[in-house]
Each structure stands twice: as C-alpha cells, then as structure tokens.
Amino acid sequence: MPCDPLIKDPFIFPRPIDNRPGLPRIAYRIGRYADFLEAMTRSIDAAPELAAWTHRGADDPGIALLQGAAVLGDILSFYQEHYANEAYLRTAAWRESVAELVRLTGYRLAPGIGGRATLAVEVRGDGPLTLRAGFPVKADLQDLPDPADFQTDAELLAWPHLGRFNLYRPRAYAATLAAGATRFELHSVGNASDSASLDAFELKPGDQLLLMSAEPGWTSSGSNLTPQQAPQQVRVKTVNRLLGRVIVEIDAPLQNSWNQPVAAWRVGRSFRHFGHNAPTRTVTSKKSGSEIVGAFESDTGFQRHLYPHDCTNTSASIALPADLMPLDAEVSDLRPGMRVVVQVRVARSGMTGAVPLALVRKVLAVRSATLGFGNLNGASSLLSLDQPLIRHAMSGSPWSDVRDFLIREITSPALSLKPVSTPSSAAFASGSGALFFHGSAAQARALAGRRLYLRHPDGRSVELTCTSGPNSFPTPTPDVARPWLLNFDRPPTPFTRADFDEAEPRVTVYGNLVDTSQGKAEHEAVLGNGDNRQRWQTFPLPKSPLTWFLSADAVPPHTPALEVWVEGRLWTRVDSFYGHGPDEPLYIVREDAEGRSFVQFGDGETGARLPSGLKNVLARYRSGVGARGPIKPGATPTAGERPAGFDKVALAGIVSGGADPEPGDKAREAAPGKVQSLGRLVSIRDYENETLAVPGVVRAAAAWDLHGGVPAVILRVLLAAGREAEFAAVQATLAHAQRCRGPDRFPLVVQQARPRQVFLDLGYARDPRYRQEEVEAALRASLGLAAHVADERSGLFGLHARRLGEPEYASRVEGRAQNVAGVLWCRVTAFGLFAPGLDATATLPAAPRPLAQVLPCSPFELLQLAAPHLTLTPVADPSAGECP
C-alpha cells in the first residue's frame, strides 16, 4: 500500500460495471488474470496471520494455486462478458443469439432462399423433344463451393432448330441499282423468288449477264420511236450464297443506273445476221439468153424491214419474213424453245438517225439452208421467232441495217436483279419487326409466343418474348426457307442492328428456354408416428437445408418447397397457429441456428393435433439454398437424365434469387422496425424495414415526393452486388405488401439504386514507431473499402455505414484518417467520382487527378470506394524539424 495518503491507489477490484448507452460492446468483466492475481496477492499481504509468507515466486505451491485461480477467474469473467453481450440485440454476435432475441418480438430470421435460373436446352433429331417438369440439372456456380441442384418448373417442348441459332436485322433495298455498282443480288429466276429456286440456279464466275430494260411500247403500237436504255453485258466475278440470297460481284462497274427489279439474262454465244459481212457492191452477170455477155455493179441492199411482211428489200437470195432470223453460220445445237436476244438499230422514213432496240424472242423452229446475200453465199441456220421485232404495221416502214443485228444466245430463265441490301445499323426503336428469322414457315411457327435469350460474346444479353402469333407464318408453296419478320415484347436492347449482320452475326439466340429452381427433390420421407395425446408434436426433416423460395404473396415473403401428408391427406402450412381453430389440419415450419428445419403441429386448440398412427406423417421436400451468380468459367450444367435426342443444356444468364440464411446484422437492423410496424405499412420507416427483409436487399431509403405530379412514396432499393437482375422480384414483393398490408391509397414507386464509385488519393505522414503496412491497413479499414465485409459498418464508405444519397467531403475523409493510430498528418490530394455505371474494375483517371471538396450523391446512389481506386502515399511530416 502507498505510504503517502494523498496518492490515490489506481487499482480497483472488482471493476464497477458502467456502460454508457449506444456502445457496440458491453464491458462486463470484473477483472482479468492480472487483476485477479493482484487482488489475491494483496489479500495475502493484508492478512496478519500470513505475514510470514513472503515468497511470491511461481515455484511456491501456494502462489501456483493463486495463479490457477486467477486463470479460472479470467476465463469465467470472459464468458460472463460474452454472455452479457449475447443477451442484448445491439451487442449480440452469434446468429443464434440474435435469432432467439428477435423471436421474442415475433420476428424470425429469414431462411436460406433457393435460386432460380433459366436453362437453354439443345436437342438433336428431326422433331421436337418433350422434357418433363422436374427434369434434374446440376450447375457449378462461382459463388458456391459445391455444385447446386436444380429442376425444371414446367414441361418444355424443345425443337432442334431452336436450340442455338441466329436472328438478323431486316433487309433494306434501294429503289435503284446505281451506276458504278459492282455488286447486286439475284431477285428471281423464272419469276420465282423463293430461296429454293434461287439456290437451284447455277451461276458461276465467268458467266455473262445481259441487263436489259423493258421492251418499248412502240414495238406493238404507235409510231414514235423513243430511245430504249441500252443493255449492258457484265461478267460475273464471284457468287456468294447467303441465307437464300445470291449476291453477285462483277468485274466492272455498271455504266448506268437501273430501276429495280432489273431484267437480265445469262447469255452465251453471239451471232450476226447472215450477210452482215457481204461486199457493199454486188457484181451481177449480164446475160443474153443463156449467155453471159458482161457484168454490172450495184449497191448491196442491207436494209431489212422489221414490220410483219416478207421483206424483199435486201440483197438476200430469199424473201425475209419479219419473224425469220438467218444467222451468219450454221449452228447444229440450236433447238426450238430457246430464247435469243436481238439487238438492232431501228429507223423509219422521215427520221434522222436510228434508235437502239433490244428484244427477247422465243425460237419456234430451226432449219439449215444455203443462202446468198449479194455476192456472199454460205450455210446458215434460220431461226423462226415467235414474233416479229415490230409486231404491227408501223407507218414509215421501219427498217434496220442487217450489219447492226446482234443475236445473243440465252442460257437461263428470265432473271431479275436488285441492289445489295443495305440494312440499318442504328439502335432499335421498338420490338415490332425488329429482327427476322430465316427458315420454313413450320420452323418459324414454333417461335410464336416463345421466350428467347440473346447473348453477345462481350457479355451483353437480353431475354425477349416473340409476340408474333401462328397466323403470322402462313405456309407458302413450296414451304422453303425464307425470312420471317418477328415482333417482340420490347426492343432488343442493349444490342443494335449491327450486331445482327447476316454475314457475321455476333449474337447467339437460344429458343428452348425453361425456368428452373434450386433444390434437389429428396425421396419421400417418413417423419414419424402421430400421437394424438401430444401437443405441439414436432419432427425434424431428415436433410437440410430445406429449400425456400421468395414469394410475393406470402408474409414473410418466402415459402418452403415442402408438402406434409398425414394419413394420405395434404395438410396446410401456415406462418403461425394464431387465430386458427382446433380442427384445422395445419403445421408450421421452424429453423434452428444450424439451418435444420422442423415441422410442428397444433395443440388441439390452435391447430389440430396429429392423429395417432405408425409412420403416418410423410414429407415431400427439396433441399439446397443460396444459389446465385454466374456459372464457373469453363463449366457447363449437367443433366441428371439423358432422354433420346437430348444433346446439352446451358445457363441462360445468371442464377438469381438465392440467398444465404439472414445474417444477424441484418436482423438486428430490421427486427425493431418490424415490431413497431406490427406487420403493417404505415410510416416511411415501415417501408424501409419491409424492404430490408427481402433477400438480396442491402440498403433501402423511402421518402415522400412527387411522381408524375402525384404525391407518392419513393422507395429506393440497393441490391447486393451481382443481384441487380432480381429487382423485378423485389418490386413484386413490395407491391403485394402495399396492397395487402399498406394503405394502398397512394402510389408506391420502387426505384433501383446503384453504387457510385469514387477515387481517392491520400497522402499521410507516419509515426516512425508504427509499421507502414499496419498503418495503411488501419487507414483502409477506417475508410471501409467495398467488398471488405469486416469494415462495412464502421468504415466511412462501408456499405452499411452510409445512407443512399449521402454526399461526402474531403475534410471528413481527412478527419477519419487523422484518427488512425500512427498517422501524424494527412491530406486528400485527389477526390472525385467515376461516371455512373462503372464498377470496381474501372480504370483510374490519369494523374494529376482532380480534387473535389464535396462529392454530391443523387438519392438513388450510394458512394463506394474500391481498393483499386484508393492511392495511399507516405510523405514526410511537414512540421518535422520546425520546432526543437
């Protein structure tokens, strides 16, 4: 004991229990090992009868006994303090403690929730395959240590052609085949434009095509010889066949523009009119009787009449009917029924010059003969055409010089050409006629009302529903592949039309979609024997965890995948026995801290007791919860069954909706508010508490505001990272709560909040007595970096430490960092926001980065600081050496 009475002894034992309100932990220890040992040692010192006991070394058996007692006191006080903390909701650390505490208020921690996913199935064969409801599938997900079991929710009719295919942007054709073009498409063959006819037509490089305009009207009536657009012969360079299209590239550009559809023919050999090469002067023998007495010259007659009559105007050895075409050579393989193109220049009396004319005529007959033309004699093939070149008796006796005749052999049916499609690459304005499917009508009809999943290699994806009905796909004759425009329930964003190019489609479409839910269907289990003498009879389920699903219609918003049968009758699950009669066949499901599920029956007053019987209580249930997120890279789902024709299955998107059992921290925040609301939605805080009880929700903020000029409750919801796709399910749950337990007199607008990434450069001076890595670890903890679970409630940017819409200040960052042990001085040198929508992988701006004193935050944003966006720089203390 001190000798000076003015000096106060600081040793106090037992320590008084004194805790101010609001502390995160309760101090409840009366002492530690050193305190217990000191107190017992002082008691020995103060006892006169023990004055002779002066040795205090550990080798003394008595001192060793005191030290053992001090160890025991230290252990007991440790657990006493721990249990004291577990007795209060604010300070309890164990989930089972939180669960027991909140259960006193009627609040129950939410069980684990099973995930939901959409599967894309591929099958083989010629016809569809029906997959039964409950078809088992197993998937290895990134966020789970073990593969998760799923089963399909409904029957699926899977078609082979819809397993994995492409859709394409609508084609767009210009009205004109422009001059200078080197590519065009084949529009029709013999007036047939279906893909089978186009595919059957043989066109190869080197073929000659002759583009022609329509036959002018004056060949059948009238006398005004208007010029006809000159035909152009082109040579095929390449032929590309794509989705029923025949795209032709020529070796030289078109000389003129052509209005589509452009008539064309494939042409072969070319011939001239017999006599075209005759001498221009004809020498004729002068006879006297049968004796040749001399000769005379005359001009060779090359002008041939084209209108219907036998022309004797030329120097030909025979009269030339208007439908007879003598060739300049004898050709043995010409046959009746073929077609020829006849090109001439036409003039008539009283007209200066001539106009070009190109016509197609059918050959009715072919014969060989020896002809003369002036002084020219030779063999010729005479073609009898189906019509004269000019089919009526035109005034002015139209004629043409035989030297201008060009006859081309046609080797194809009538062709028509059109410009190459130039579809739009812009964004989609709506889902109406947005894309087309290439296939038969029967194949397209399978798309009516079907869900489709579209995925790009860069990660973009969307699920659409084809709203085109079966009547949108009438069966043509023949039913060959063709483009069918499709309507969708919404635009195919985030894609643009450029992503659906026919030559290089980048979006894969999956058409055999089926919804699945997590949970392995366990064998029917016998829970036990009913005993009508017992109240609240309870049975555990053999396997845990029991699968629960989010349900907007339930209160709380989840229901188990469980059926309980008692003596062949299905009993009804309720959330509570309260308010039910003594004969109602009901049961409740409860879970313990370890996740085991128990089925409990009534006491005969609120809920019926079980009837007595052996093994008369059966359960059918599913097990497994928590599935969420994408599949592991390189992994693919595996089917538990392989029916004939089944090929493979893939995950369309990510697994969503799954959640682990509600943690104690979340229940600690939500339970008090739920008790105050008494299960109703009255105050703004009630809406926030109701939202926090939904799996996957991490922050919620409600406020009165105007929406469309009408007062409404605006509820902003932030979902856990990777669970943004579950927002629609959260909306449905809250809408049901508003209708059933809220006033429902005003609109409830649920908006999705998003994290907003910030960047921070912080310079700091370190106390040399502290290690740099320890100081920087403490700085990161004080700032609460994203994904650092331990700092979510204490760090400045911690997920659970911030409010939606809360701004941040550089001065507050400095103040928080200055309070870290080992930091002598600090200053923020860069502070700013990333663009909305960027995540923790965003690249830092180049140095020097901007410095903002205040970071604003919109009501639907939560500021977050990720580890890659924090730069800590040790600097010298600016005041070092200033003062002695």
Are the C-beta atoms of residues 619 and 564 closer than 8 Å to each other?
Answer: yes
| pLDDT for residue 880 | 59
Query: CA torsion, points 674, 677, 683, 689, in degrees to nearest 10?
Result: 10
CA dist 702 and 704 (Å) reads 7
Topology at the third CATH level for domain 522-623: Immunoglobulin-like (2.60.40)
Nearest to 273 by CA among 373, 414, 395: 373
Q: In percent, how much of the chain has pLDDT > 90?
A: 65
Q: Is pLDDT larger for residue 90 or for residue 409? A: 409
* Superfamily (CATH) of domain 679-752: ANL, C-terminal domain (3.30.300.30)
Q: Residue 881 pLDDT > 60, yes or no? A: no
CA dist 271 and 409 (Å) reads 8
CA distances from 842 to 735, 756, 760 (A): 35, 11, 13
Sheet strands (E) in 753-860: 754-766, 808-809, 823-833, 854-855
Pull the structure tokens for residue 408.
């081309």
Q: Is 372 helix (H, G, I), strand (E, B) or coil?
A: strand
Nearest to 632 by CA among 143, 148, 150, 117: 143
Please state, as a whole number, how many other Cβ atoms lie within 10 Å of the Cβ of residue 461. 17
pLDDT in tens, 475-511: 988 889 999 999 999 999 999 999 999 999 999 999 9
CA dist 700 and 432 (Å) reads 37
Q: Residue 15 pLDDT > 80, yes or no? A: yes
| pLDDT for residue 107 | 81
| pLDDT for residue 5 | 61
Q: Residue 289 pLDDT > 80, yes or no? A: no
Are the C-beta atoms of residues 360 and 310 closer than 8 Å to each other?
Answer: no
| pLDDT for residue 766 | 92
Nearest to 465 by CA among 484, 443, 447: 447
| pLDDT for residue 1 | 46
CA dist 86 and 96 (Å) reads 9
Pull the structure tokens for residue 456.
């790009």
pLDDT in tens, 309-357: 888 888 898 999 999 999 999 999 999 999 999 999 999 887 888 999 9
Nearest to 754 by CA among 695, 852, 833, 810: 833
DSSP 680-749: ---SHHHHHHHHHTSTTEEEEEEEEEEETTEEEEEEEEEEPTT-GGGHHHHHHHHHHHHHHHS--SS-EE
Pull the structure tokens for residue 332.
């043995």
CA dist 266 and 341 (Å) reads 10
Q: Is 669 helix (H, G, I), strand (E, B) or coil?
A: helix
Indicate the length of the chain as a whole number.
884
The H or E element that residue 667 is part of is helix 664-677
Are the C-beta atoms of residues 262 and 174 closer than 8 Å to each other?
Answer: no
Q: Residue 801 pLDDT > 90, yes or no? A: no
Alpha helix locations (H) across 30-163?
33-46, 61-86, 95-103
Round the average pLDDT of the chain to a whole number and report it. Answer: 90
CA dist 296 and 274 (Å) reads 24
**Average pLDDT, stretch 646-666?**
88
**Average pLDDT, stretch 297-307?**
90
**Average pLDDT, stretch 50-54?**
86
Pull the structure tokens for residue 68.
């053992």
* Reduced 3-state DSSP string for 389-455: CCCCCCCCCCEEEHHHCEEEEECCCCEEEECCCCCCCCECCCCCCCEEEEECHHHHHCCCCCEEEEE
Q: Is pLDDT larger for residue 2 or for residue 660? A: 660
Q: How confident is the model at residue 3 (pLDDT cuts 50, 70, 90)?
A: low
Backbone angles phi, psi at 736, to 5 degrees: -65, -40
**Average pLDDT, stretch 141-152?**
92
| pLDDT for residue 403 | 94
pLDDT in tens, 157-167: 999 999 999 99
CA distances from 758 to 720, 804, 827, 843, 870 (A): 18, 15, 17, 11, 9
Judging by DSSP bridges, how do beta strands 586-591 and 572-573 pair with one another? parallel
CA dist 392 and 220 (Å) reads 6
Nearest to 822 by CA among 864, 777, 769: 769
| pLDDT for residue 345 | 94
* Reduced 3-state DSSP string for 259-321: ECCEEEEEEEEEEEECCCCCCCEEEEEEEECCEEEEEEEEECCCEEECCCCCECCCCECCCEC
Backbone angles phi, psi at 172, to 5 degrees: -140, 125
